[in-house]
Amino acid sequence: MPLNISKLGKVLKTLNRLEGIKEFNATLPVKIEVKKEINPIRYLIKLGNREIETKSNLPLIVGKKYFAQIKEYKSSIQISNLKPFPEILDTLEKIPFKEKLIKFSKEEILHHLANSNSKTEFIFFTNLLLAFNEKIRHLIINEKKKALMQYKYSKNRVKFYAVFTHLGEIEGEITTDTLIIYSPYTATLQLIEEFKDELSLNVLLKKTEVNNLFSFSENLLNLKV
């Protein structure tokens, strides 16, 4: 039998709550936006409400957003562990959701498609429909910070991908009594380790790169209802 969806919801809610606990912990990944290239290794970046200069040995693209780990010193800032910032987080901020935890059925997705108020909403729900046809479902949480989870049933386990503003991207799977979480960030895994007892599952944590289950696209040519 499929695992109870409440387990997914509990994992998502707990992880999302951890963002508030350590929101200003600079060891967690944060969003930066590259505003200007000053020279091949110096850039002007936007960090929160500030614009500051920093060095990067890796070439950065002006106008692009990244997840990064930040270390601040008295007269400088160091960025490391750069990864592309998932555009879906920016999209979620543009779409109003009225419920705290949203699990879309196919009928609800079609209803939102028919009543979309913007191109952003239409493309977003079209992608949800395309994913649904591939048996990939989506959960969205609407609290102080929005987060998204993709999941897919596979016999007695559920594979999932989740993305958060501060914890970054997470991949994993849930069985009857075990939760495995993958993340490229040591700080994220350490924070989950600290609060893993709240999840009521046997939690295994592994540091590695992650991948989503479904990539959002603006190409609507493959739409199947």
Look at residue 223 and give its three-state secondary structure.
coil
Q: Which residue has the tokens 């979309």?
A: 116
What pLDDT, on the 0 to 100 scale, is given for residue 24? 46
Annotate 127-172 with DSSP letters as a single string.
HHHHHHHTT-EEEEEESSSEEEEEEEEETTEEEEEEEETTTEEEEE
What is the rounded distance in angstroms from the CA atom of residue 199 to the CA atom of residue 10? 7
The beta strand positions in the chain, using DSSP E, are 30-39, 42-47, 50-55, 65-72, 77-84, 101-103, 137-142, 146-154, 157-164, 168-174, 178-183, 202-207
Is beta strand 202-207 parallel, antiparallel or unpaired with respect to 178-183? parallel
Positions in the chain short of pLDDT 70: 1-6, 19-26, 75, 99-101, 142-145, 219-225
What is the rounded distance in angstroms from the CA atom of residue 212 to the CA atom of residue 210? 7
Contact by Cβ (8 Å): 72, 98: no
What pLDDT, on the 0 to 100 scale, is given for residue 141? 78
Q: What is the pLDDT of residues 48-90, one digit of tens each?
A: 888 988 888 888 999 999 998 887 777 677 788 888 999 898 8
What is the rounded distance in angstroms from the CA atom of residue 130 to the CA atom of residue 24? 36
pTM of the model: 0.86
What is the rounded distance in angstroms from the CA atom of residue 47 to the CA atom of residue 13? 26
